[in-house]
Amino acid sequence: MDAPTKRAALFLLLATGPLAEVLSQNVPLLTFLSPLPFLLVTLTYGVPVLLIRELAVARSLNTMGLVLLGLAYGILNEGVLAKTLTQPGGPPLEDFAGYGVIGALQGGWTIFMVFWHAPHSVLYPIFLCDWMFPAAAGRRWFGSGRSRWVLYLLLVILAWLYSLYFQNPVRNDPGTFLLYAIATAGLAGLALRFCRAHASRSRTPTTNPLRLVLIGASTLVFYVFQFWAPSHIPFVLFFAVSGLILAMAMLGIARAGWRPVPELLLFGLGDALAFASFSSLLAIASHRNPLQAAAAGAIFLAVFLCLIRGVRREPLGRGVAPNP
């Protein structure tokens, strides 16, 4: 494993957690910086995403394949580890509690969170890593030599993460775990069977970078709808509208032919910037660690604006000269 690969792997291991947990204000900034929460967030986010990225490269998966594996990760995070998908009430569910209950699952919360994790916890961190470390992008990191031992260690940690479902006595029904396992296997199978990347000619981006960022930021409307819906419309309508919006978004992105870097990355930075601002304001308004929420929101705002500027200047990767 060469130096660029080590730096890229370390970045993806450490950055994925805060880009999800701190950005969403689920974990306050100072809490995340404490040793134990930092370790737990790193293991529960960084390790699975490293493995997803390795599998995607090894099997030449396209963006839709990453989306499907991201959905599988959402099941691991919210279903197996946090167990919020079957949580009867309380934070973080709030108004989602009891909204569209399907068996043991909180239907509305499941739709929102599983689909939220796919881009925010998997796609965007991987795309950002590819841009920051272009020398390590597009190739396996743990495929040969002593680096294989790192892969084996990551797989052991992943197995341990799944075992935590039964080590926690709260809501550890084997039938629910089997449902999670079947759904995860099905999503992974679909990705491996139908989502192979095809070689395409390189092209110059035709969409204005700032327009891509604004399109990404427009997802704020979707997030506001998700939080508004449980108190105002029936679950059936919520399910139909959410499904239609997600399908139209994926179809539009597929037809646009955006590359992961830089187009989808710019879209993702706009999305992340909008959600970071939204979650920060929501935490401040609800008096949940308002000072830390404001600080975290300001930090993410500054970081994302700097990244947007950097991707505009060097669209093919940090330190890579753009095509003439």
Closest CA relative to residue 131, chosen from 11, 302, 311, 313: 311
Task: Write down the pTM of the prediction.
Answer: 0.96
The CA distance from 183 to 203, in Å, is 37
Within 10 A of 138 (CB to CB), how many other CB atoms are there? 11
pLDDT at 230: 96
Tell me if residue 206 falls in helix, strand or coil: coil
Asked if 238 contacts 108 with a C-beta cutoff of 8 angstroms, the reply is yes
CB-side exposure of 125: number of CA atoms within 13 Å? 29
Sorted by where each begins, the domain ranges of the chain are 3-196+206-313
Residue 252 CA neighbour count, 13 Å, CB half: 11
Collapsing DSSP to helix, strand or coil, 15 comes out as: helix
Residues in the chain: 324
DSSP letter string, 104-154: TEEHHHHHHHHHHHIIIIIIHHHHHHHHH-GGGTTS-SSSSTTHHHHHHHH
What pLDDT is recorded for position 158? 98
Which of 82, 142, 139 minimizes the C-alpha distance to 116?
82
Beta bridge partners, 101, equal: 106
pLDDT tens by residue, the chain, 324 residues: 899 999 999 999 999 999 999 999 999 999 999 999 999 999 999 999 999 999 999 999 999 999 999 999 999 999 999 999 999 999 899 999 999 999 999 999 999 999 999 999 999 999 999 999 999 999 999 988 889 999 999 999 999 999 999 998 999 999 999 999 999 999 999 999 999 987 654 455 557 999 999 999 999 999 999 999 999 999 999 999 999 999 999 898 888 889 999 999 999 999 999 999 999 999 999 999 999 999 999 999 999 999 999 999 999 999 998 775
**What does the pLDDT read at residue 198?**
77
End-to-end alpha carbon distance in the chain: 32
pLDDT at 203: 52
Q: With contact defined as beta carbons under 8 Å apart, do 253 and 237 qualify?
A: no
Q: What is the pLDDT of residue 264?
A: 96
Cα 66 to Cα 99: distance, rounded to the nearest angstrom:
29
Which residues sit opposite 196 in a β-bridge? 61
The pLDDT assigned to 324 comes to 58
Q: What is the pLDDT of residue 54?
A: 98
Tell me the sheet residues that pair with 106: 101
Query: 196: helix, coil or strand?
Result: strand
SS3 61: strand
Helices (H), the chain: 3-20, 29-32, 35-41, 47-58, 63-74, 107-117, 124-132, 147-167, 174-194, 209-217, 219-228, 235-256, 265-285, 290-313
Looking at residue 180, its amino acid is Y
